[in-house]
Amino acid sequence: MEFAPIVLFVYNRPDLTLNTLQHLSRNEEAKESTLYVYCDGAKAGASPEQLQLVKQVREVVHSQQWCGKVVILEAEKNKGLATSVIDGVTEVIGKHGKIIVLEDDLTVSPFFLKYMNDALTKYADDKRLLAVHGYLYPFKMPADYTAATFLVHDPGSLGWGTWSRAWNKFEPDTDKVMELIKLKGLKRAFDFWGAYPFFRMLHQHKNGKVSSWAIRWRATAYLYDMLTLYPVKSLVRHDGNVAAATHHYNEIDWLYTEIYQAPVPVGDIPVENNLLMEKVFARFLRDNAGMTISAKIKNRLTQYWRKITGHA
């Protein structure tokens, strides 16, 4: 098997970057994989402290041979996460045809790369598949679901992979995306039937209030009726809720999940949208970030959610 290249996006959090790289390197497949690390540059007018953090991140990246081959790309100026991801994924997937994508605040299982590569190989030519995802919300699985994986429309953005045939469908023009969603009558489904205001986030991106690649990637799934494979046990944990993070709220740990420490087999399942699991996703979001909480907490949750999914 030819392993998919891994792309890691880093910026100014050396401790989190080190943690991500250490856990990634513990995957057996890492020694035969190519790792591209995109180091974003400091923002204009950055303080000496911020400049030092950017420098420390780059020192961490250069400190070890984290994978079989490591390619480090250091930006002179700050591009921001959305632009960095779109440009980096487009560049690497154009060379290799498939990709695994990580950011600097993700901890992965020792079996993350096996699952990702198995899935990327199995579904390489299945045009119904948009992506493969490694993170799963910490909800309770339905008792009657016994397979190791399932398929839903939501592509996620916390440890994911895709193919050039899918990424080529990504539409950067937010106006076109919004118009097509309305034209096809997809707005309610896109919002998980009212569970979370994803369509409103497209408006916010259009108006410059957020900078998001992930919300447009989500739109790709719905516009083309394409699916993403998920494991029933999370192989990724998000560790961005720390004091150094832009949005840090200790009181909201609803996205925290334990990492599964065993392989997740990529077996045969029906290649169709699992509506039951989509409803579970919707219920989880509604219960944890929906309309029943106070306006103050809701606003803080929304900011945090934007941060971890690349919406800020």
Go through the domains of the chain in sequence order and give each one's CATH number.
6-308 (3.90.550.10)
CA distance 239 to 18: 12
CA distance 120 to 98: 8
Among 29, 307, 30, smallest CA distance to 157 is for: 307
CA distance 291 to 59: 44
Among 103, 180, 105, 167, smallest CA distance to 132 is for: 167
Residue that the structure tokens 């992979």 belong to: 161
Length of the chain: 312
SS3 content of the chain, % helix, strand, coil (to 5): 40, 15, 45
Q: Say what the pTM is.
A: 0.90
CA distance 195 to 280: 11
pLDDT by 10s per residue, the chain, length 312: 899 999 999 999 999 999 999 999 999 999 999 999 999 999 999 999 999 999 999 999 999 999 999 999 999 999 999 999 999 999 999 999 999 999 999 999 999 999 999 999 999 999 999 999 999 999 999 999 999 999 999 999 999 999 999 999 999 999 999 999 999 999 999 999 988 899 999 988 888 887 789 999 999 999 999 999 999 999 999 997 544 443 333 445 678 899 999 999 999 999 999 999 999 999 999 888 754 344 444 454 455 455 544 544
